[in-house]
Structures are given as structure tokens and as C-alpha cells.
Chains A and B, each alone.
Chain A
Amino acid sequence: MTDEPLLRVSALSKFYGSRVGCDNVSFDLWPGEVLAVVGESGSGKTTLLNCLSTRLLPSSGTASYRMRDGQFRELYRMSEAERRFLMRTDWGFVHQNPADGLRMTVSAGANVGERLMAVGDRHYGKIRATAVDWLSRVEIEEDRIDDEPRAFSGGMRQRLQIARNLVTGPRLVFMDEPTGGLDVSVQARLLDLLRGLVTDLGLAAIVVTHDLAVARLLSQRMMVMKDGRVVESGLTDRVLDDPRAPYTQLLVSSILQV
């Protein structure tokens, strides 16, 4: 383990005109850490995620990322091409809707293989073997490799999206409601899969979710957002078992017991 964070975020704000997207958010993320960002719709969690993944540019603040050579680079000062390269190789982004993260009209194998080719792999046999391996890791049968994701169920599409993102061995993965819109039983399977992959690969991840159970299962640390601001942060189990901020107490007390 290294003693330097992977990502340093300082006073990040995003305004849409006079409306607040996210306001003055700061944190460090270390390798292997999973950070959950929770809050209700409109709390700014997705805006924050989009700023961090450079899909949006913030109004102010900085975020620096430790590249594979150990040097920190200021994300918002990189060129568009550099950011795209980072996104294709060292990062992953798992969208809530798999259709946003997959190419729906090419085969499952090609969806996974495309990311490999983006990092310079050219050997067809090797790419296909890696694709088969990754499909099996996300529990997709080998005989589905030539099918298009259009023919997959929602849960399978989401697992394919995860395989596509993880195949290049990223160090940081952004996830936006990765289990949103899935049946509970499918969710459980996906969560278990994600948990295993994150642990085995030592990934760092930032997971945006409104589901506190998902946060508890996947993350070690948590930030609670309301109206664009971080109202509470800390160890996930501490925040959930001993919530301090009024809004966190409201969130935690609103969970239905089964």
C-alpha cells in the first residue's frame, strides 16, 4: 500500500447559473478504497461524479489524480485527448442505464474487446480469450459472446457493462447507481459480484447511490450530500449506525425494515 492518495479533491464546486450543483466538496481517495456518495435526487451527487470523471467541468476547485508514473496531474488542466485516454484506460464509468455505457448493436465480446483495443491490444485470439474470461467472471455464459446486449436482460447488461469497464485493469471506477432499476434478487447478485471484484482487484471506486444498503455493502467510507453540500462524512458503518447530521438521521430513519 502506498501512502499517497489516488485522487485529491479540493473545494470543488459546480454552479448551473445561480443554481448549485455541488458546493465546496473536498476529499482524498486512496487506492483500494470504495467511497459511497449518498443523498436524495437533486442533492448534487451525480453532478459531483460527473465533475470528478471530467464529464463535466467544475465552476471552481481542483482535483488531481496520481498517474501510473506516480505524478499528480490536475484533471481540469489536462487536454481533452489526455482525459479521454485516462477514461479509456485507467478509469471506468459504470452508468445506471447499461445502454449508456455499452454499444448496443455490437456483440458482447466486441463490447469488452473494444476497450482492450483502445489500450493497444491487437491480437484477435488474445482479445477474444480475455473477453471470454471476463464474461465468465461476470457470470455470462461463453455461448452468449456473439450476442448483442440488446438481447440481454437488464441484469446481464449491467454485468456486461462492468466487464467492459474492468477489462483494462482500471485503478479507479466511477459508478452511478449501479444497481438502480434492477430487481432485488438481481441487485444482490450484482452487488456480490462487484464486492468480490473490487476486493480482488484492489480497485478504488466512487459509487453514487441513494440506497443506503448498497452503500453499506460496497463502501468503507461515505459522504452524505444535501443541496449540493456534504453534510456528513466518515466510515460507512459509523455514519449509518451513529448518524450525526440532522439530514443523515432523517435518511437513516427512513429505511424500511424487512
Chain B
Amino acid sequence: MPTPLVVSDVAKSFTMHLRDGIKLPVVAGVSFSIKAGECTVLGGPSGAGKSSILKMLYGNYAVDEGQIIVTHEDGLIDLARASPRTVLSVRRQTIGYVSQFLRTVPRVSALDVVAEPLVERGEEREAARAKARALLAQLNLPEKLWMLPPATFSGGEQQRVNIARGFITEHPILLLDEPTASLDATNRDVVIELIAAKKAAGVALLGIFHDHEVREAVADRVIDVTAFAPGKLAA
């Protein structure tokens, strides 16, 4: 099986034009690859650039330098240079993402928020909803909430909706940005099970987990992001 994702020499900085053009380097020389059926964890303190790396891999942040090669539709694509249309196609078919916070849409029910990625991939709405119900039940989200828009849900409830939305598809690559941050122990265990199932299905996972217990349970490999600190490159 080909390596699903290879990152080489990626650098990222922010230029703050409203602050006299100060340049804030975030990471440099980021190089790693992830494997199918494994969960790779990005480690390091807050501010080391873990989330920024995930966001670059999802096309949500622009990449200054380097390549992000992803296996997509039987070909190889450099996400760092891909057109918006290609990035959208990669998101639909190849890379899934569970963000830290749920971005809610007015008037759309939790059930449809979860089912949406499947519908976008061409699945029948009712079949997608059935899968969404099963996942929400597995994540112990009370059934009375399913038909409500998640805007008014608690942090933990929103996060479970977000996790269900990320795990419902069969993307070969799944990025996880602290999916367990505001969950109780029971639901944390459910997420660990879900991750194990993805691994067994051959999905390549890349995640950030501050929760030690979860990290111990899911990580096959930890990449220390402090190695990609911009200052280190010169040394």
C-alpha cells in the first residue's frame, strides 16, 4: 500500500500586515509521513505549531514552502500548491478532519450536520441519516437532541456531534485536532474505540491529543513538533 501522506520541508509563518508587517514564524522544515492503519500523534507544548500543521494538511492554512504529497484518486497531489477545486475534492474523498470546535449552521439539525459529509459524497440522505443516528447513539448523545441545531448544545455535546461528523465517512486519511478535549471518561473511551476501528479499517490517522490517557491508548508513534521550531533550522 502506498504511503497516503508525505510532508517534506514545510514551512509556515504569519505576516501581520496590521502590525507593521511583523513576521511570526510558526514551523520550518516539517518532514514526516503517516502510514495506513496507524495513528500518528503530534506532540509538543501549546504554541509549537501542532494545529497549524494539521490545518495546512487540510488546506485551511496556506503553506509558505515545502510539499504535502497526498495519494488522491489514484494519483499524487501536492496540497501545498493545489487549486481550491482540487483541495475541495481531496476533502470530499481523501482527507477528513475533526476540528477542535464545531462550526454550527443556523437551523440545521445535529443529525443533518453529522450526515452532511456522506450526502456530499453522494450517499442517499436517509441512508446517511441512519449512519448518523448510529454514531450519535454510540457517542451517547441524548436522542432528544438529534433534531435540534447544535448551536445551543454544551461543549461536550457539540464536540460529540463534531466527532460523529468526522468519523462517519470512510476517508483514507483522518486528521484529529483534540477530539477528546471536553469529553467525560465514558465518551473518551468511545472515541478510543472509534479510533481503533479506523485503524483496523486501514485509515491513516494524524492527531493532537493533550489527554495523556487517550494518547497512550491510541498512539502508534509520536512526532515531536518542537523539532520543527523555526530557529532550529539554522542550527
Contacts and interface: CB of A to CB of B under 8 A. Distances in A.
Interface of A: 30, 33, 188-189, 191-192, 195, 199, 217, 220-221, 234-235, 237-238, 241-242, 244-246, 249-250, 253
Contacts, number: 52
Contact of B59 (A191, A238, A246): A238
A9 to B, nearest CB: 15
B55 A246 contact: no
Contact of A238 (B15, B16, B18, B61): B61
Contacts of B15: 244
B84 interface: yes
Contact of A235 (B14, B16, B59): B59
Nearest to A244: B62
A57 to B, nearest CB: 29
Most B CB contacts (10 A, CB to CB) among A33, A221, A235 go to A235
Given A235-B87, A235-B88, A244-B62, A191 B106 contact: yes
B142 to A, nearest CB: 24
B157 to A, nearest CB: 20
B18 A195 contact: no
Contacts of B61: 238, 241-242
A241 B85 contact: no
A235 B84 contact: yes
Interface residues of B, number: 20
A60 B178 CA distance: 51
Contacts of B55: 241-242
A242 B59 CA distance: 10
B88 A220 contact: yes
A244 B62 CA distance: 9
Nearest to B82: A235
Contacts of A188: 106-107
A242 B105 contact: no
A217 B105 CA distance: 8
Interface string B85-126: 101100000000000000001111000000000011000000
Contacts of B16: 249
Chain A's interface: helix, strand, loop or mixed, by majority? Answer: helix
A1 B27 CA distance: 37
Given A238-B62, A242-B61, A242-B62, A33 B106 contact: no
Contacts of A249: 16-18
Contacts of B120: 199
A62 B201 CA distance: 49
B85 A30 contact: yes
B106 A246 contact: no
B67 to A, nearest CB: 17
Given A246-B17, A249-B18, A237 B105 contact: no
Given A189-B107, A242-B61, A249-B16, 19 more contacts: A192-B106, A192-B108, A195-B105, A199-B119, A221-B84, A221-B85, A234-B62, A234-B84, A235-B59, A235-B60, A235-B84, A235-B87, A241-B55, A242-B14, A244-B62, A246-B18, A249-B17, A249-B18, A250-B17
Most A CB contacts (10 A, CB to CB) among B14, B88, B106, B108 go to B106
B17 A220 contact: no
Contacts of A244: 15, 62
Most A CB contacts (10 A, CB to CB) among B14, B59, B84, B108 go to B84
28 contacts: A188-B107, A189-B107, A192-B107, A192-B108, A195-B105, A199-B120, A221-B84, A221-B85, A235-B59, A235-B60, A235-B84, A235-B87, A235-B88, A237-B60, A238-B60, A238-B84, A238-B87, A241-B55, A242-B14, A242-B55, A242-B60, A244-B15, A246-B17, A246-B18, A249-B16, A249-B17, A250-B17, A253-B18
